[in-house]
Amino acid sequence: MDMFIVRGGERLFGSVTVSGAKNSALPLMAAALACEGETTLSSIPNLVDVTTQSRVLGSLGMDVQRDESGLLHLKTVDESACIADYDLVRRMRASVCVLGPLLAKRRMACVSLPGGCNIGDRPIDLHLKGLAALGAQIRVDRGYVIARADRLRGANIFLGGAFGSTVTGTCNVMIAATLAEGTTTIESAACEPEVVDVGNFLNACGARIEGLGTPFLKIEGVERLQAVEHEVIPDRIEAATLMIAAAMTGGDVQLNEVRPDHITAVMEKLREIGVTIQLEYPQQPERRQSVWVKVTQPLKSVDCIALPYPGIPTDVQAQLMSLLACVPGISIVTDKVFPDRFMHASELARMGAKIRRESASAILNGVSRLSGACVMASDLRASAALVLAGLAAEGETVIRRIYHLDRGYECLEEKLIALGANVQRVKDEPENMPESLKLTDGEERPTYSELLDALTGPHWNLNPSEKPTPSAEG
């Protein structure tokens, strides 16, 4: 396993290009299952999750190849395979996106339930509700969703849940509906740009979907989908993460290949915090372009709420929390999409952040500077948040379990290093622990004598009579 050593305090400066969107790439790859012929996808990021999705599709009879120029080619070679096994699906929840295309194209699907997740409950009841409304017979047996449908038929489907719409659920049902007989309407559809990207791809293949980007989709079923070439949209979460990195280091960064209209809420919030953001084409936010992010004034604390699109994405909540943890003043960060997605808060607290959890919110009392510590990444976005915290912290930060980060950010450390950050990837071995965080017994706790020094050192402002006299025993 690898870990990062981040030496904080470097101001990010320069230019960096945003990769293609992971959360578009994964359902797009699944959608290729529903097509005739060869699908070619460009700007597919090189990520562990993409490799996992390729393996899931390979186990379902697809030939998936990446060529030297980075294009991903997907073609069905065997239509008989319909089982997506737990061993693969448990690695990545997005593999559940094969359910809709399999049902639509092969009339049967057996897909493992993905299992637990560090960001909170992630049921798939809405996916199943939508597919059942299209006429699929579905049962859950020994951890697998087993579904059959002789013919899918258009239906009126409401896909809203307690926490709003579902992104992959909308993709699943939308893909299935494109090949259903008659008209389907989906109310409370997810409006996320990734859903629109999948819908645009399907329409280019011959589907008839109206209303993309709105909560109401109308889909006229067609007989077949003919595979096409498609370019994946830029990753709005990566763009937002890099913007926040620039803000946290007082940097001056040019981001290329950004769709500003996909991150309006994040840019608005950063501006409210005091970050300067300029667009290459301010009148055309829907165009891919460069965006400049810099800090020229002290930043202000704010409140922010993660909501379904077009709100601030839940996938940026952790990174915003890192930023606000070191902006003096009180900020409240709320997540209405995944109300338990706060695993990063306790790790940020290890770096000196003052955070109190209140149900779906975290109340932050911003400190002027975080301090380096040894922290543990719990999920993809939490890992990114800890890397950002390390960039802004004083001293060295070690981030363990960064395999989470490799699942969803293409070359994040290379990009940060190109901007001047001091980030090093090393094996997670005791001997690689930096001196500042190293322990005599090989663990990452401070030594007893360091703690004693911290207790008795000269920096306390106490009356001599109030000074603690710690015992010399270990």
124 is in an annotated binding site: yes
What's the CA gap between 425 and 231, in Å, rounded?
Answer: 31
Q: Which residue has the tokens 């295309």?
A: 101
Near ligand EPU by CB under 6 A: residue from 235, 257, 315, 335: 315
Q: Which is nearer to ligand EPU, 23 or 39 (CB)?
A: 23
Q: Look at residues 444, 378, 376, 441 and name the one whose alpha carbon lies nearest to residue 407.
A: 378
CB of 438 to ligand EPU, least distance (A): 32
Near ligand EPU by CB under 6 A: residue from 9, 58, 160, 161: 161
Q: Which is nearer to ligand EPU, 19 or 168 (CB)?
A: 168
Q: What are phi and psi of 32, to 5 degrees?
A: -60, -25
3-state secondary structure 169-198: HHHHHHHHHHCCECEEEEECCCCCHHHHHH
191 assigned to active site: no
Q: Write each residue from 7 to 46 as x if it is in contact with ligand EPU (CB under 6 A), else as -, in one continuous string.
A: ----------------x--x--------------------
What's the CA gap between 60 and 32, in Å, rounded?
Answer: 12
The answer to whether residues 352 and 324 touch, using CB atoms and an 8 Å cutoff, is no
The interface region with ligand EPU, picked from 115-123, 136-144, 412-420, 442-450 by CB under 6 A, is 115-123
- Reported residue count of the chain is 474
List the interface residues with ligand EPU, window 121-160 (CB under 6 A). Answer: 121-127
CB of 272 to ligand EPU, least distance (A): 22
CB of 240 to ligand EPU, least distance (A): 12
5 is in an annotated binding site: no
23 is in an annotated binding site: yes
115 is a contact residue toward ligand EPU (CB under 6 A): no
Residue 383: count other Cβ atoms within 10 Å of its Cβ: 29
CB of 130 to ligand EPU, least distance (A): 9
**Alpha-carbon distances, residue 254 vs 16, 18, 289, 418 (angstroms):** 6, 10, 10, 12
338 is a contact residue toward ligand EPU (CB under 6 A): yes
Q: Look at residues 28, 59, 33 and name the one whose alpha carbon lies nearest to residue 45.
A: 28
What's the CA gap between 54 and 58, in Å, rounded?
Answer: 6
- Tokens of residue 264, six digits: 């309006």
Q: Which is nearer to ligand EPU, 79 or 125 (CB)?
A: 125
Q: Which is nearer to ligand EPU, 166 or 289 (CB)?
A: 166
79 is a contact residue toward ligand EPU (CB under 6 A): no
335 is in an annotated binding site: no
Near ligand EPU by CB under 6 A: residue from 7, 106, 344, 381: 381
430 is a contact residue toward ligand EPU (CB under 6 A): no
Report DSSP state, residue 336: S
Q: Using DSSP, state whether 133 is helix, strand or coil.
A: helix
Near ligand EPU by CB under 6 A: residue from 314, 322, 331, 397: 314
In DSSP notation, 4-65 reads EEEE--PPPEEEEE--B-HHHHHHHHHHGGGSBS-EEEES----HHHHHHHHHHHHTTEEEE
Q: Which is nearer to ligand EPU, 167 or 207 (CB)?
A: 167
Strand 208-210 and strand 229-231: pairing? Answer: unpaired
273 is a contact residue toward ligand EPU (CB under 6 A): no
Q: Look at residues 344, 330, 297, 336 and name the one whose alpha carbon lies nearest to residue 314.
A: 336
Near ligand EPU by CB under 6 A: residue from 93, 105, 344, 400: 93
Q: Write each residue from 219 to 238 as x if it is in contact with ligand EPU (CB under 6 A), else as -, in one continuous string.
A: --------------------
**Catalytic one of 35, 82, 97, 117:** 117
126 is in an annotated binding site: yes
| Burial environment of residue 64 by CB neighbours within 10 A (0 to 12, 13 to 18, 19 or more) | buried
196 is a contact residue toward ligand EPU (CB under 6 A): no
- Tokens of residue 411, six digits: 């070359």
209 is a contact residue toward ligand EPU (CB under 6 A): no
Q: How many residues bind ligand EPU (CB under 6 A)?
A: 29
Q: Which residue has the tokens 């038929």?
A: 153
Strand 13-17 and strand 252-258: pairing? Answer: parallel
Report DSSP state, residue 220: E
Q: Which residues pair with 279 in a beta bridge?
A: 291
93 is in an annotated binding site: yes
Report DSSP state, residue 124: -
Cα 305 → chain centroid: 16
Q: Which is nearer to ligand EPU, 144 or 338 (CB)?
A: 338
123 is in an annotated binding site: yes
315 is in an annotated binding site: yes
Q: Which residue has the tokens 């969107």?
A: 21
What residues make contact with ligand EPU under the rule CB under 6 A?
A: 23, 26, 93-94, 119, 121-127, 161-163, 166-169, 190, 194, 313-315, 337-338, 380-381, 408
User: What residue numbers does the annotated binding site cover?
Assistant: 22-23, 93, 122-126, 315, 337
User: What residue numbers does the annotated binding site for UDP-N-acetyl-alpha-D-glucosamine cover?
Assistant: 93, 122-126, 315, 337
Among all residues, which ones are annotated catalytic?
117
